[in-house]
Chains A and B, each alone.
Chain A
Amino acid sequence: GENVEQHPSTLSVQEGDSAVIKCTYSDSASNYFPWYKQELGKRPQLIIDIRSNVGEKKDQRIAVTLNKTAKHFSLHITETQPEDSAVYFCAAADSSYKLIFGSGTRLLVRP
């Protein structure tokens, strides 16, 4: 069945360093890959997404890359700040719009 694997489960970086979170999906029909940030006690917040016809997308300090051949996509956060600390979820969806989520990465940015 559909599956999205996400690594690492926890990530601790120094403020100002970069953070990279990687996901792998199994369904070749997946064509939409969003990333959500969830702070403690808050709702998941859509921070960036990418479609299968695009290899890379950037929004200020956040970027997402997609390798369709390898079925990999990654989230890159540069110049991390303490407020970036949260749990990040990747997801994949096909034309049914059903989001299949990864297991989450807890990012801690140390001041």
Chain B
Amino acid sequence: KAGVTQTPRYLIKTRGQQVTLSCSPISGHRSVSWYQQTPGQGLQFLFEYFSETQRNKGNFPGRFSGRQFSNSRSEMNVSTLELGDSALYLCASRIAPLGGMEQYFGPGTRLTVT
């Protein structure tokens, strides 16, 4: 079974721009969560989507948003980029709603804001 995939793998953007990242979960997995990884703050939860609905949200500003499509693929959008948004953005998929709590990560999108 193919793993979680994310596109693009690398992005360079300028302050003030916006960006959209994509995540395709493992086949049959219906929940997608997004995490931000930085050297200073570590791994931080952004939000989770299941059945095209945001189920949970972390402590990030409203510039960070997401959505999920009927095929469980998810996108994350960051508007008005700031230098501090430079990070590795990881998504993780989970079977949901029943089944295990295990989350499996994609390879991430490395975002650099200049």
Contact = CB atoms under 8 A, between A and B. Distances in A.
A44 B4 CA distance: 12
B79 interface: no
A45 interface: yes
A34 B42 contact: no
Contacts of B48: 96-98
A82 to B, nearest CB: 23
Contacts, number: 58
A100 interface: yes
Contact of A44 (B31, B55, B90, B102): B90
A35 B35 CA distance: 16
Interface string A81-92: 000000001010
A46 B103 contact: yes
Contacts of A101: 35, 42-44
A102 B31 CA distance: 22
B105 A43 contact: yes
Contacts of A49: 101-102
Nearest to B108: A43
A19 interface: no
Interface residues of A, number: 22
The secondary structure that dominates the B interface is: strand
Interface string B25-66: 000000101010000001111001000000110100000000
Contact of A99 (B33, B55, B96, B107): B33
A96 B43 contact: no
Interface of B: 4, 31, 33, 35, 42-45, 48, 55-56, 58, 90, 92, 94, 96, 101-108
Interface of A: 32, 34, 36, 42-46, 49, 51, 89, 91, 93, 96-104
Given A89-B43, A98-B56, A99-B103, 17 more contacts: A32-B101, A34-B101, A43-B90, A43-B105, A43-B107, A43-B108, A44-B105, A89-B42, A98-B33, A98-B58, A99-B43, A99-B45, A100-B45, A101-B35, A101-B42, A101-B43, A104-B42
